[in-house]
Amino acid sequence: MNILEITRSQANPPRLWIRLRKYVRVFRVSLVERMTYRADFLISTFLRFLPMLTTILLWQAVYAGARRFSGRSELSGFSFHDMIAYLLLVNISRMFSSMPGLAAGIARDIRDGSLKKYLLQPIDMIDYLVAYRVAHKVAYIAASFIPYAVLFFLCRGFFVGLVPTDPITWLAYGVSLILAFLVGFAFEACVGMVGFWFLEVTSILYIVMTLNFFVSGHMFPLDLLPPFWAGLLRALPFQYMAYFPAVVFLGKIRGAELAWGLALQGVWAIGFWLLARWLYQIGLRRYSAFGG
């Protein structure tokens, strides 16, 4: 490569780098915006853990009743300590996969015409929202680190013998959390795209998000359901937003089953991402930029 070619390459940087640099700046601005309200993050995170006390008392009563009437100390392979550890870990799963306001925000932008800001500027809406949500997650994790550390320290007795000791499990757990973010984001983006076809989507969003909270295993492990329903829900993508990362940490999925689960989680993430792109493209064909 001669000097002229080098100079030309420096004057015309690759388009991919220009695209990435643009969204890195979006990430930085969004992160600064989010960290402005770090005190609110901290207080709300502490308050969010208060219901965990009632949850522990509830399951304590459930296991006490099971021992009294049937002599069992486990429910579907979960001991009392397993259950509480699972419910604590689900909070970590949802920290990555939950996207509060994403679907509603997309539908609102479509309805009031604000979507045209993405069409008039060289910014892709989905890429912009990814950068924005990554900034939100970084800010949330940074602000909630101390509350989570305090909570897990106080509840450390429930994790005796359950903390992974091999690096493979830790690596798989980390990958499952990242994929949980991608599945959660892409799924909610798909739900938000419904706004291209329906003027009011509040009721639809409420039903979908309520069902998602249940079928993702946030309330209790899917193993507690009858075999047919447990198998059905484990075949759906929603388990990867809460249930799957938690049971990976607890070591209840290992070996080939673990590898297969991570592969399917990746497939669902890609599938939802492509579906969101497709819905966005066909939705733009019928979009009229009124209002805004």
The model's pTM is: 0.82
Can you give the pLDDT at residue 272? 95
Choice between 292 and 180, residue whose per-residue pLDDT is larger: 180
Whether the CB-CB separation of 75 and 63 falls below 8 Å is answered with yes
Asked, for residue 185, whether it belongs to a domain, the answer is: yes
Per the prediction, the chain carries an average pLDDT of 82
What is the count of structural domains for the chain? 1
Residue 183 lies in a domain: yes
User: Structural domain of residue 39, as residue ranges?
Assistant: 14-285
Residue 1, in any domain of the structure? no
226 lies in a domain? yes
In a domain, 26, yes or no: yes
Q: What percent of the chain has pLDDT over 70?
A: 82
51: in domain: yes
CB within 8 Å of 103: residues ≥ 6 apart: 188, 189, 191, 192, 201, 205, 208, 209
For residue range 29-83, what is the model confidence (pLDDT) as tens digits?
665 665 556 566 566 666 666 677 778 888 888 888 888 888 787 888 888 899 9
Q: How many residues does the chain have?
A: 292
pLDDT at 292 over 50: no
**Which pLDDT score, from 0 to 100, does residue 5 have?**
43
